[in-house]
Amino acid sequence: MGVDQVGAGDHGARWNTGRVGYLDPMTTTTAPEEQRILDQVPKQLFIGGRWRDGSKGTLSVEDPATGDSLCEVADASADDAKAALEAAVETGPEWASHPPRERGEILRRAFEAIVSRADELALLMTLEMGKPLKESKAEITYGAEFLRWFSEQAVRIDGRYAVAPNGQGRLLTMKQPVGPCLLITPWNFPLAMGTRKIGPAIAAGCTMVVKPAQQTPLSMLMLARILEEAGLPAGVLNLITASSASESTGPLINDSRLRKLSFTGSTEVGRKLMEQASQNLLRLSMELGGNAPFLVFDDADLDAAVQGALIAKMRNIGEACTAANRFHVADSVAEQFAEKLAEKMGSMKVGRGTEDGVEVGPLIDQNQREKVEGLVNQAVGAGARILVGGQARDGAGYFYDPTVLTDIPEDAELLREEIFGPVAPVKGFSDEDEAIAAANNTEFGLVAYVFTRDLKRALRVVERLETGMVGLNQGMVSNPAAPFGGIKQSGFGREGGPEGIEEYLETKYVAVNL
């Protein structure tokens, strides 16, 4: 795929064609191809520009479609993590004064390298995370786009010059990098959750320690190698993989030389990290859990709503913070909507993401599958009706059938908890106020989806939704050129867009005496 074919808008447009995972068709991969890409991944820690072993030995990375080990990667101790911070601190001043144009060009070269290797990187991602190849390729494109976007932002960091209100002094402001950052990412988007942080940090002139999720470290290890090859100076990006996140990152959060923590993951862990970070008064970005409502009004184009629902629900096997968690549909069309959605979801091919035509891969692990099973069973026990699916698959891997539920009782836990799986509960509403009240009835506030053809209603509803983002007549909001982030218990801070780089910049004000 050529560089010009992967614009951010392009990515969104592909998803919005309706079929989940719509991209160029790929064929089933072979074991030797899989081994070849696994062999290419550096499996050590990357500290101060050197690849080195972890002091605690290694940890295993599993294929969630089979439960088999794919390979071993280095397991970092607290001392390894401190060495990574040391390297980031040492490199900080030089990197902060590095020409912004060169910082941008390194990102641009990395973007091009990722795009030129999109197929093999997609295969690697599917092996460690499970999603179908076509979806992995979409994430590679999306993830790379953050590097391109922030390569362009690197040269647009500026300040202000103003006359003081009394006319006597001058007010000067300048933007400076916040300093060494700790970036912690989850397993569900193994590359893009990294590039959303690494892109702006590099562009702003920050150095960093990156800690990917232990279940999916391979994509990030490859990214570190790509950035190294793109000319990123030693010590700017340091990467540790670890079997104990708290043991390795805890000492860094308490180290006064660290200036910022950017975290993407669960609200539960986010809260703990905020508490820890309070000792050091760290700058924080918190991209946390979601519980997205998907509203369909009676005037909506129902087929478009079903297509949007498929994307919002089934992208990433339902394991996305932006996944539609609950469908609130006008009473007059709720049954029809649920049946159409059940027909589409019931016909999706479930299997290992490397197989041709597969649209639904395995869940990440047995814990996640048990959580999904538990939520469905609780809802059914309380009176919900299964239209399609409703069970785990026998055999190897952590597969769960695409599921649509109706007659959802008010006390169903899945209305309040993040499901993180291929389960769509459909519940009716009688009017606009009831729909909005239901949508906002959650501690989370990441994203909501609204389907209506009435412009006045659309704007009325959008203004009253308590979320950081809204998909209006579309089932996907992610776009590197837009500010991604939530409110309430979904956290704070924005990734992407012009706002994204601000998270890595401090404002210094100079009072000028004339």
CA distance 148 to 500: 13
CB of 508 to ligand NAP, least distance (A): 29
CB of 319 to ligand NAP, least distance (A): 7
CB of 120 to ligand NAP, least distance (A): 24
Question: Which lies closer to ligand NAP via its Cβ, residue 215 or residue 442?
Answer: 215
CB of 271 to ligand NAP, least distance (A): 10
Q: Quick one: tokens of 293? A: 């409502």
Q: Quick one: tokens of 390? A: 């409703």
Look at the block and give the residue holding tokens 């690849």: 51
CB of 283 to ligand NAP, least distance (A): 17
Question: Which lies closer to ligand NAP via its Cβ, residue 428 or residue 468?
Answer: 468
Residues in contact with ligand NAP by CB under 6 A are 184-189, 193, 211, 213-215, 245-246, 249, 264-266, 269, 272-273, 287-290, 321, 418, 446, 486, 490
Strands (E), 320-460: 324-330, 385-388, 403-406, 423-429, 444-445, 447-451
Question: Which lies closer to ligand NAP via its Cβ, residue 386 or residue 448?
Answer: 448
Question: Which lies closer to ligand NAP via its Cβ, residue 287 or residue 407?
Answer: 287
User: What Cα–Cα distance (Å) separates residue 65 from each residue in 20, 215, 353, 479?
Assistant: 19, 13, 8, 29
Question: Which lies closer to ligand NAP via its Cβ, residue 169 or residue 251?
Answer: 251
Question: Which lies closer to ligand NAP via its Cβ, residue 14 or residue 211?
Answer: 211
Catalytic residue list contains 71: no
Question: Which lies closer to ligand NAP via its Cβ, residue 27 or residue 367?
Answer: 367
Are the C-beta atoms of 461 and 436 separated by less than 8 Å? yes
Which neighbouring-strand residues pair with 350?
360
Look at the block and give the residue holding tokens 């300093």: 179
CB of 456 to ligand NAP, least distance (A): 30
Question: Which lies closer to ligand NAP via its Cβ, residue 289 or residue 397?
Answer: 289
CB of 351 to ligand NAP, least distance (A): 23
Look at the block and give the residue holding tokens 């200036």: 259
Q: Quick one: tokens of 426? A: 């459909």
Which neighbouring-strand residues pair with 400?
392
Helix (H, G, I), strand (E, B) or coil at 104: helix
CB of 436 to ligand NAP, least distance (A): 22
Please measure the distance between the N-terminal and C-terminal CA atoms of the chain and give it in whole angstroms: 57
Q: Which amino acid is at 195?
A: T
Are the C-beta atoms of 452 and 297 separated by less than 8 Å? yes
Residue closest to ligand NAP (Cβ): 265
* HSE (side-chain half, CA atoms, 13 Å) at 138: 25
The active-site residue out of 135, 206, 321, 418 is 321
Please choose, from the candidates 286, 298, 336, the residue with its C-alpha nearest in 3D space to the C-alpha of residue 492: 286
Q: Give the phi and the psi of residue 60 in degrees, each rounded to 5.
A: -90, 145
| Length of the chain, in residues | 514
The active-site residue out of 62, 86, 228, 287 is 287
- On the 0-12 / 13-18 / 19+ scale of CB atoms within 10 A, 145 is buried
CB of 138 to ligand NAP, least distance (A): 15
Please choose, from the candidates 135, 472, 178, 418, the residue with its C-alpha nearest in 3D space to the C-alpha of residue 288: 418
Contacts of 27 (CB under 8 A, 6+ apart): 356
Are the C-beta atoms of 23 and 318 separated by less than 8 Å? no
**Dihedral, 203, 208, 212, 214 alpha carbons, nearest 10:** 170
Question: Which lies closer to ligand NAP via its Cβ, residue 45 or residue 342?
Answer: 45
CB of 143 to ligand NAP, least distance (A): 12
CA distance 226 to 12: 25
Question: Which lies closer to ligand NAP via its Cβ, residue 151 or residue 490?
Answer: 490
CA distance 234 to 243: 25
Look at the block and give the residue holding tokens 């390979």: 71
Residue numbers annotated as active site: 287, 321
